[in-house]
Every structure is written in structure tokens, then in C-alpha cells.
Chains A and B, each alone.
Chain A
Amino acid sequence: MKQGESEHPVSGGEQASEPVASTRTFVSGRLLICAVCVIALAAGYYGGRFARGRFGNAAADVRTTVAKSDKEADKNSPPAPVLKLDPDAPVPDKAEPLTREVKAVVDCLVATFPESPDALEVQARSEVWLGNSSKAFDVWKKCVKLDPRYVYAYVGLASVAAERAEHDQAVEYAKQALEVEPNNFQARVTLTQSLLQLGRAAEVPPVLEPFLKSDPRSQGFFLLGQAYSQLEQYEKAKDSYEAAIRIFPDYVEAYNGLAVAYEHLGQPDKAKPAMEKFQKLNAPEKSAARIRGSTVSDLKLMQEGAAALYADAGSLFFTSGRKADAETVWVRAAALDSHNVLCRQSLAWLMRNAARYGENIAWLNQLAAIDPKNPSYLIEVGRTYEKLKLLPAAEESFRKACKAAPANDAGYVALAGLLLRYGQNLAETATLARKAIEIRPSAANYALLASACRANGDLPAARTALEQAIKLAPQDPSYKAALDAINAGPAKK
């Protein structure tokens, strides 16, 4: 199954992580630090204003003052090939200039970091992007020579071998990847698919089952179902397909597998609804689209691919101190792909650290529009506004976060916190805190309720809430201290 095509990222749930696994991103070594920072962005640490809602020119608009502030920092950078990329140039409307542009960026990257497996990895992926799997294969081979534990090269080698129908080789490379990084999902998927192609289904359950216990994924369960079907163990196949569907209720192919398994188990009454669901989801237009890339031109796909490469290239530039170059390629990535999350997260984080709050907010708002059910970006916008003391705007952002994800406590917590910090709408704070507790009865949320109750003068309720917080997190001394404070003296308003 083409997981990335069918499954949509859903905030907060298992599916949110799945597309990332299926379209492996480039994070390694020092880049990991950068990635951690980028991910941390979603949890939020910034502030600002000038939020923009439109995507079109926002990338170019917000970038105008970029290079200036980092020029000083770049003075000390070692001499390196110059990145010739104009992020404000019109996006190529033909493949050839786009290809040229990407090649130039990748060449610069590799010339700058000739011994870096990360740079070579980007180069390998750019070759795959161009359809040159043989060249990619050679580059990945170089990667493992430089670093025999470079997992992404093994994953790449395995995927190319599988594409060429050289499944024995794919199995070997995928196993090497898993030796280095046992939790690498993509390696596990490639290994499984190649084992199935080779008719070695018996080897699949040991590959998938222990892994799925700790990291349940729909695609993993689907492949497990395929393996058990091959092994004619239809009870287990049925269980696997059902597990896949529990995680991803619109998993088209899993319904087909489930129907077949039920047929084999002699339960046609259960097979029928599964097949009906399969057919419903498998409308002819969807089926046709899955046969071949059905677009008139794949330029958009090429642009998206280029953006993914740029997002990773930017991380590499950034971690080596070339912030301006990092920003340039990230901005270009955003221009090429209006839905690329990684480059926007990176830019938001970069802007926040450079105290360029307006641009920070602009990128965060773009992220919020891309992933409207994820409250994190709106909360970050609110925090930036709060930092800038633009409190009504902050409040509005937090309220938007509550609306975007009413089943997530983060928005309520952020809004209650803001109101408490600035003594606004105090009566509402307890309600917000109670809502947060309803969603997630954590010690922190009980402590928030205690603060709200205390602020509203309801000390008994505050005490009760703190006692609950202490019960949930006895190791945290702050709750005990807060309780002691309430018990010691009159409540402060």
C-alpha cells in the first residue's frame, strides 16, 4: 500500500507519525539536535506578532530581512562553496530548471561537506528523485564506507534493491539497517515486503510482531496480515487486518485482506461487510489513480520532492553554522511546497531564536493552516504574542487552539495560564482547568485548577485539587509547597 497517499496525518494520534516513517526524513548526528529543536517547536517556546494567513507571498515577504542579522555570525565560518540560490526567484514551472537548481544546491552541499554521510545522503536521495537509482546506490555505498553505522544508507540501499526486484539483496540491506537501528520502521517495512515477495512469509512475524507491540502501526499490521495469509494462518491474518483497521479505519486494502481471511475461516457473513467496505472505499476513480501517477504532469510532485531535499539540506547548513544558507534553502523549500512542514518548522524555530517574531508568527500560522487540528502551532503563536505583550492577540490564539482541538487539553491549559498570569476573566480559568482535567487528569492540570480556585478565592477547592496533584505526582515538591502556602496564610488575589 502507498501509505503516504492514503493516510492523512492526524494530530495527536498514531497516524500522525506514520507518514513520517514511510517517507523517511533525514536526521542524523548533529542534525538530530536540530531536529529535536524543530520538534520542540511544536511543543512551543516562542512569541511574536504580525501573523499572516496567506501562503502565497508569505515566504518571500517574511524573508526580506533575513541575511542581515546572520552575516556577522557567518564571518567566522570556514571558506566554503557559495550557495547560488535565489529563494525569491519564481518557482520553476518546468522540470529542467528545477532539476538544475536542485543539482546546484546538492553539489554545493556535497562540496561543502565532502566527508559527511548526511550530505551524501541528501545527494543519494536527489538521485532517486531524478530516477537514477544506480547513482543513488553508489552514493549510499560511499555513506556506509564513511560510517558503517549510517542507518539511512542501508535503508536507501534496501529500498533501491527492492525497487529493482532484487529482493534477496533488499533483505540483506534492511537487516543491516535494523542491526544499527532496531526501531527503524522503514527498514522493517522494506524487509517485510521483500520477504513476502520472496515467499518467505514465515520470517515475517518475528520481524514485525515484537516491534508492533511497542510501536503499533497500521501498515505493520497490514503486512503482518499479508504474511499470515501467505502462511494460510487466517485467524492470525484476520486479527492483524483488524488491528490495522483499528488504527486506520479507512485502510482500503486491509478490508480486502480481512474479507479474504473471513472467507477462509468459513465466515461469509463477516466477509461480506468487509468486502462491501473495501468496495466503498475503493471507488473506481481511486483505484485508477493508484495504478500510475495519474497527474498530467508530475511537476508538483517534483517540487515537493525538491522541497524535502532542501529541508534536509538546510538542516545540514544550519548545524555547521551557515544559518543564512540554511534559511535560504528552507525558504526556497517553502516556496516549492506549500505543505512542507519540516522547512516551516525549521524557519519558525530559526526566526524565534533570532528574535524575528513577526516572521516566527507567519511561519507558525502557515503550519497551523497546514495542520489545522494540531493546536501546538496556535499555542506557539499565542505565546509569542504574550512575549510581545500583545495579550488580546495571545488570548485569541489560545482560544483558536481550543477550537481547533477541543479534545486536547493543551489549548485550555494555555488559555487558563494566560488569564491567570494577567488576572483576566478569572471566573473562566477554573472552568478551563476543569475541562483540561476532564481530558487529561494529570497532576499539572490539577495544580492549574488549584491556581484558578485560589485566584477565585475558593481555597477548599484549591486544597482538594492540590491534594489530587500530590497524589498523582508525589515526587514533585512544588505541589506540596503550594498546598503548604495555602494552609499557611490568607489567599492572595
Chain B
Amino acid sequence: MLWGEIQLAVRGTRVNRLAKWGLLPVLSAAVLILGLSCNRSAPSPSSPAETQPELPAASAEKTAGGASEEEKATGEALAPAAKDEKPGPIRLHDITARTGITFRHSDGSSGRLYIVETVASGVATFDYDGDGWTDIYFVSGGALPGAAADPPPKNRLYRNLGDFRFVDVTDHAGVGDTGHGLGVAVGDVNNDGCPDLYVSNLGRNVMYLNNGDGTFSDLSSTAGTAIPDEQRVGAGVCFLDKEGDGSLDLFAANYLKWSPDMKIAHAWRGKPIYPGPERFQPYPSRLFGNNGDGTFSDLSEQSRVGLQPGYGMGTICTDYDRDGDTDIFVGNDGGPGNFLFRNDGRGVFEECGVQSGVAYSGSGLAHGSMGADCGDYDNDGLFDLYVTAYQGQLATLYRNRGEKGFEDVSQRIGAGTGSSNQVTWGCGLVDLDNDSRRDIFYVCGHLIDNIDSLDDTTSYLASPVVLWQTTTGRFVNVSSSAGDGLKKKSVGRGAAFDDLDNDGDLDVVILNSRREPTILRNDSSPRNHSLEVILSGTRANRDGVGAVVSVEAGGQRQIAEVHSGRGYQGHFGTRLHFGLGSATDVKRLEVRWLGGKSEILENIPADTWIRVVEGREKASTNGSWAAAGSGEANSATSRGIP
């Protein structure tokens, strides 16, 4: 398939769902198209076309009624909800054991209680090989002084074979960095259609350029983005196109300045614990401009993002003020409160966290912010922010009120429910049941590993929490009735949300500190419909990072933005996901590319995913686009609007 076309592909890994859609016959062709879309050689160990036929193995698990055989056997789907809590429709099942993922996170600890251990790492979900299946990149801590390092822990890339089976392709891909990893972002820095990786470390950061053949090249020494300060503790990172010139620039938040010889100790109730960040010097963020030749220039000072020292952690870029350029939010772990860098459109940023109302919580406290996500939870056309926090502080939902700035509505609508006695980390403002309303998912796990002996109101191991958004816009904690995936206690840090099995709903990947990850399959009721959208920029950056897509379906308008870097120092959601509720088609879809141009499509059937290519004027003229593999024409139109 050539770039410049609007593609309609069929998703679905399960026979029953595909059969329901009547699209089973087109499966092979669709997969073939997807597999070819990046025009690259098949990655090891097998090509997508080879893996696809194996997918239906687990497909019979789920019945049309929404309850799997597994659920029926355990009665879990019918289990009563907690007292005073109506069971929500979200069901997430832990299928880690059968994924083949053997990664185990290391925080490099050896009992010396270095602060860089406990903040742990993020995780990225992205389709590195362009086969249509979302893969997983786990970031790991390295071997800090005193820790065993044989073999040294390293980051791991798992290729998605479909049906929740993954294979470790780290060594083949060449992305197994052994540095002490903290954050990760994915972006196509050379616009070749193959997503690249940037890993934020303690000390030297790493840039991996995707070769398009299942391997990556380490450009760290030449790209100019390594920030090679051995005392710098990295944090969340994002790619953004700061001035809308079509190439991705790079923002790297940093946590603090640390080295193992600092000997900063902390004791609580007589027991040694991890020290807080305030004991260390904050480290300002960095911004790198893309030179377009594989190198970047450090623009931290002239862009003004490097002038604000803070304890950066989770970060996300968003056009919060809808002025057509991309701004940057940085969650800071404590004072001076969160940062919001407003872009003037030319890549110069003004920090306006306090003025815009996101620096502090509604009660005026600078939270120990951890993860950050962005989405329009109330479908009012403005991007809201969700930020997780330290124990004793609510994970906070900042509602975007346009020119009036943001307002903390966490208590008002229950968006922080269940968080106040936990340390909360990776998070997603995502629609888990496809009802067209974004829900909230966050992971927990204290950063003090001996906390259970010091304060039994919280815990080191903790279950994730899912808050389902009701029709009245309130968030209800449905964790106790949302499947076994919410019951497992671990030490959550990073979390990513993507459709791993291409069945139209978002699955969950959790990176647990010092432990194996958790993979949750979304088995929520399939009654609702969805649409997934991939953007291909031609004038704008290739993945459409910073572009805003709006869909109108079932009388409702939703928006989503392509982010690169989000959650707790991780990355997910390059393929935009829209829950459509009972709507079986999207009346209108508009893409507003970074740079101001728009693309409009109409009458798109639900339960598909589509690729929208920027400026595909031909398609708008002939008014048709192909249903992949079927050869059928669709009545949807696309037209470029200057």
C-alpha cells in the first residue's frame, strides 16, 4: 500500500468477533496489507503473515454475551459488586502468564536505598515493525553500585505475535540498553514511517533509530540528545513538533541531580527509607530541536524550558489552549508545583502552571506528581489533564475550562477515588468500555519498600484502580468488579493502554518495579463499538504527533490528540482510540494537522481502524476509500481543507 492513501483495515483477532462483523473472509488480505504498509522486511522471528493464522487459538473464549468461558467458570462476571457500588461494565483479565513475556524489571537496588531505584521506569506500547500489532518496550533500571550485574539488566522489546503472545526481540532489534532506564518515548524523528525510540536514563540518554527492518541503530553518540551528565536522573520524555515544521523535536524532563556517593539517608520511625526528592538539587528540563539530519540542537535556554528547575516526572505534550501549537505539561514531584509550558507557536515557551491552575491541587498543595495523561473526559472539546500523586494526595483531574484555565475537579466527580492512601503512578484517561466516555486507570505501589512495617494505612504492594465514568460524568471505583486483573497486588509504576489484540478495546500493560509486568486483556462487554485511527503526516510529522482528531458519532463529538510520551514516563496510544457506544458508524471525522490543515472524512463504519493520510486530495475528490482486502467502496469522503 502506498503512502497517501486512506486505508481501512480490519482488526480483530478472534473468530467470533470477526464472524459477528461478517469480515472473516477479509482477514488474510487485511493482515497482508498491514504487514506491507511499512515496506520493510519481516522481523524476527516470524513475519506477521506467518503469525496471523495462529491467532484464533484463544478466540472461542468469549461468547457473544460478553462473558468468557473463563468468566462463566469462575462466576466472576456475575460476581456482585462491592457494597453501594454498581458494577461497571469494565472487565480486565490478567493474562500475563500466557503472553510469553519473561521481562522482570530491575531497579538496580542492593539495599542502599538510592532514590533512583524506587521511582523505577516507564513502558512503551507501539508498533515498531508496522505489522499492525502493538508491541511492548519495557524500560529497566540498570545495575547501580552494589547490585549484582551478571547479566546486566536491560530494556526489553517484545514483538506482538497476536493473541497476546509475545516474543523477545530485544537483541535482534538492538534496543537492549543496559543503562539505568527511567523514561521512554516513541516518535518518528526522520519521518520514514518507522517509529524511533528515545530512552531517558540516569546519565546518558539513548536514541534508537528504527531501520525499518526490525532493527534499530543507536544514534546516541551523534544525535546530540544524550545529555551526558552522570549525575542527571532522567524522567518523562516526549517528542513534539514545537513549531509545526514537520519534524519532531524532543523534550526531556529531568528529575534531580544524584550520584551514589551523595550518601543521603533518611529514616522514618527508626528505619531507613528512601529519601524524598527535596533532599536533592532539582534538574531542569531540556528541549532539543530537530536539525533534520539525524542530529538535534539543545534549545533548552532559548526555548525557556530549561530555566525552571523542578523535580520533573511524568510529562505530556498537548495543545491545551487549542491555538494550534503543542504545549508541554510536566508533573513535578513536589515544589514548585507542576509546570505548564505554553508554546508561542515558534518554539518559545512560557511557564504558566500557576496562572493556568495546574501547578497545585484544588486545596493549594504542590503534589508529589508522578504520572500524567491527557484527554477530553467530558467531551467539551478541550483537553483535560490527569496527574497521579504521592500518598495522602488525591490523583488529580484538572478540567480544562478554556480561557479560564484548569480547575481541580477530582473530589467533585470522584476522579481521585481510591488514591489518597496510595502512591499512584502510571495512568490513563482512556475509554475502557467503549461507551464514548473516558475512564481512569491508575497503578499503585508505595515507593518506600518497607512501608508496610511503618504505616499500615498504605502498602508497598497494591492493586491498580479503575474508575468508570458514568453517564452523569462521575467516576465510580469499579475495581472490585472489574475482573481479576484488578485484584493482583504489585508495585505498579509505568502503565500503557493500547489495543494489543486488535479487537477494538484497550488492553493494559503495567510495568511493576522489581517484578514481572502485568498484561491485562480487556474483556469488557463487546456491545459497544469503537473506531481506531492512525495518522500519517506528509507535511506534518509522519505519525501526526500533535494532530487532533475529532469524531462525531451517536450525537456526540469526541476529540483525541496524538501524543508521543505520556503516563508515567512512558508512551502509548499512537493509534487513537474512540469508543462509540451504540453508534455503528462515525458521521464525521476531522483531523486537524499540526500546521493548521484539516482533513474531513464522513460515514465511517464502526469497529474498524483506519489510516488517514494528510493531504490525500485524490481521495476527497473521488469520494471513496477501500475497505482493505474486500475491494468494496465506502461512501466516506475525505477532503483536504487548507
Contact = CB atoms under 8 A, between A and B. Distances in A.
A235 interface: no
B266 A230 contact: no
Interface residues of B, number: 50
Interface residues of A, number: 53
Contact of B265 (A94, A226, A290, A296): A296
Contact of A291 (B266, B333, B357): B333
A124 B593 CA distance: 61
Most A CB within 10 A of own CB, among B276, B364, B412: B364
Interface in A261-301: 263-264, 275, 278-279, 282, 284-294, 296-299
Interface in A304-334: none
A94 B270 contact: yes
A292 B364 contact: no
Interface in A175-219: 196-199, 201
Interface stretch (B166-174, B450-458, B499-507): B450-458
B420 interface: yes
A290 B368 CA distance: 10
A264 B364 CA distance: 16
Contacts of A256: 360, 363-364
Interface stretch (B43-51, B403-411, B613-621): B403-411
Contact of B457 (A1, A133, A229): A133
A453 B249 CA distance: 87
B381 interface: no
Interface in B442-483: 453-457, 474
Interface string B536-575: 0000000000000000000000000000000000000000
Interface string B411-446: 111101111111000000000000000000000000
A100 to B, nearest CB: 11
Nearest to B367: A291
Given A165-B418, A260-B407, A289-B278, A299 B270 contact: yes
B276 A226 contact: no
Contact of A290 (B366, B417, B456): B366
A291 B389 CA distance: 10
Contacts of A263: 404-405
B270 A293 contact: no
A273 to B, nearest CB: 14
Contact of B362 (A131, A165, A229, A297): A229
A283 to B, nearest CB: 8
Interface stretch (B2-10, B88-96, B139-147, B334-342): B334-342
Contact of B411 (A165, A201, A282): A201
Contacts of B417: 197
A168 interface: yes
Contacts of A291: 276, 278, 333-335, 366-368, 390
A201 B405 contact: no
Contacts of B365: 253, 287, 290
B123 interface: no
B269 A302 contact: yes
A28 interface: no
A160 interface: yes
Contacts of B270: 94-96, 98-99, 299, 302
A257 interface: yes
B279 to A, nearest CB: 7
A253 B363 contact: yes
B90 to A, nearest CB: 20
Contacts of A254: 364
A287 B334 contact: yes
B493 to A, nearest CB: 18
B235 interface: no
Given A199-B414, A229-B362, A292 B276 contact: yes
A291 B364 CA distance: 12
B441 to A, nearest CB: 17
A299 B267 CA distance: 8
B363 A226 contact: yes
A252 B363 CA distance: 10
Given A163-B457, A256-B364, A284-B336, A230 B411 contact: yes
A282 B355 CA distance: 14
A252 B337 CA distance: 14
B335 A252 contact: no
A96, A160, A297 — which one has the most chain B CB atoms within 10 A of its CB? Answer: A297
Interface in B271-288: 271, 276-279
A291 B407 CA distance: 21
7 contacts: A1-B364, A165-B419, A197-B417, A263-B404, A282-B335, A291-B368, A296-B279
Given A201-B412, A278-B364, A284-B335, 8 more contacts: A95-B267, A95-B270, A96-B270, A226-B411, A256-B364, A264-B404, A285-B335, A294-B276
Interface of B: 84, 265-271, 276-279, 333-337, 354-355, 357, 360, 362-368, 390, 394, 404-405, 407, 411-414, 416-422, 453-457, 474
Among all A-B residue pairs, the 10 with the closest Cβ atoms: A95-B270, A287-B335, A256-B364, A253-B364, A288-B278, A291-B334, A165-B421, A288-B335, A163-B457, A287-B366
